[in-house]
């Protein structure tokens, strides 16, 4: 079984709602008629794979991928006014639930949340997990500049902990995006930095220790976490502030996180395996973004200096276990 945990889908009703407004997001169309969703520092061209689930199913069959765990992507609903954010999040999650109901053998889904309204996020998380039966949610790496470890989000994490939910961290435009507007620096560099900051903040704040049943998944191989974890541990040893909320070095918690393979360098993936162990690495393609690739996902895993058992785990077994309900 090949399961792709990191890929993105825009429900057509969501794109229509953005275009009709009111919305903080600008929508244009390219010469091929594809919607283009514009937000600070970046834009996404919504090709058929982004918005046509039947088309996407045919692609998966051609590429030999058995199942995808779909999620929304940038810009997310948190850029909107709170009422609009809650309405759009519910619209997306209802669409995801219908896809799972109609194509459950091919797709699972992670909910999206109106994160700029923590109270509404709690209500929507409860509905998505307990009524729509989604296994968790995708969170953006900051919420209009507010870090994910901010205490306003802790009631949401309490619910997620009770449910043993999957929470995926996906990057969004970071603070200082003004310095990243050339050369696609925001998605190429800023995304990875923001994921790294988010994960480190969740650990140092004590959140990861306090809510130990949450299954955290970091996109894009965790940003720089496998590379920088040793430095975070040195911070724990050197600075009292870094020990104030946790009882063990940061790497202990970070090794419990999951890391997807949306870094198509086999040597980088091997570093993540050495850091977190082969049971915590999961296949991801970032399909159908311009920078994503199902063939590169498969080729990079095939090229790993690892046993076939390890590759089999990464291709699907680990994700299957990740999606299983916790007792």
In this model, does residue 83 exceed pLDDT 80?
Answer: yes
d(CA 285, CA 298): 8
With beta carbons less than 8 A apart as the criterion, state whether 53 and 101 touch: no
- Give the pTM: 0.96
Those residues whose C-beta lies under 8 Å from the C-beta of residue 166, and which sit 6 or more positions away, are: 110, 135, 136, 137, 215, 217, 322, 323
Those residues whose C-beta lies under 8 Å from the C-beta of residue 254, and which sit 6 or more positions away, are: 199, 203, 222, 225, 229, 232, 275, 276
Q: Give 33-74 pLDDT, tens digit per residue.
A: 999 999 876 789 999 999 999 999 999 999 999 999 999 999
Res 119: pLDDT: 97
Q: Give 232-275 pLDDT, tens digit per residue.
A: 999 999 999 999 999 999 999 999 999 999 999 999 999 999 99
SS3 of the chain: helix, strand, coil, percent, to 5: 50, 15, 35
d(CA 216, CA 169): 7
Structural domain boundaries of the chain?
Answer: 3-7+64-323
What CATH number should be reported for the domain whose range is 3-7+64-323? 3.20.20.140
In this model, does residue 327 exceed pLDDT 80?
Answer: no
């Amino acid at each position: 079984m090949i399961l792709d945990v990191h890929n993105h889908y825009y429900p057509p009703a969501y794109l229509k709602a953005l275009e009709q407004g009111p919305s903080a997001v600008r929508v244009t169309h390219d010469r091929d008629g594809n919607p283009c969703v514009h937000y600070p520092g970046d834009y996404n061209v919504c090709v058929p794979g982004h918005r046509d689930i039947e088309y996407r199913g045919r692609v998966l069959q051609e590429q030999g991928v058995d199942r995808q765990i779909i999620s929304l992507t940038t810009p997310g609903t948190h850029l909107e006014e709170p009422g609009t954010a809650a309405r759009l999040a519910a619209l997306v999650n209802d669409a995801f639930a219908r896809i799972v109901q109609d194509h459950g053998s091919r797709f699972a889904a992670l909910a999206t949340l109106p994160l700029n309204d923590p109270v509404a996020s709690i209500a929507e998380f409860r509905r998505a997990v307990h009524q729509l039966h989604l296994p968790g949610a995708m969170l953006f790496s900051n919420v209009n500049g507010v870090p994910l470890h901010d205490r306003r989000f802790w009631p949401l994490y309490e619910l997620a902990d009770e449910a043993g939910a999957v929470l995926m961290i996906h990057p969004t435009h970071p603070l200082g995006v003004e310095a990243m507007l050339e050369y696609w620096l925001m998605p190429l560099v800023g995304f990875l930095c923001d994921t790294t900051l988010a994960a480190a903040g969740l650990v140092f704040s004590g959140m990861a220790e306090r809510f130990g049943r949450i299954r955290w998944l970091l996109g894009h191989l965790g940003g720089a976490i496998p590379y920088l974890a040793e430095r975070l541990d040195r911070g724990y040893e050197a600075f009292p502030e870094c020990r104030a909320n946790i009882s063990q070095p940061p790497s202990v918690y970070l090794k419990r996180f999951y890391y997807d393979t949306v870094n198509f360098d086999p040597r980088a993936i091997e570093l993540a395996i050495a850091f977190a162990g082969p049971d915590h690495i999961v296949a991801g393609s970032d399909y159908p973004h311009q920078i994503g690739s199902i063939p590169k996902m498969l080729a990079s895993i095939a090229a790993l200096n690892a046993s076939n058992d390890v590759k089999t785990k990464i291709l699907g077994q680990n994700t299957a276990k990740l999606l299983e309900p916790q007792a």
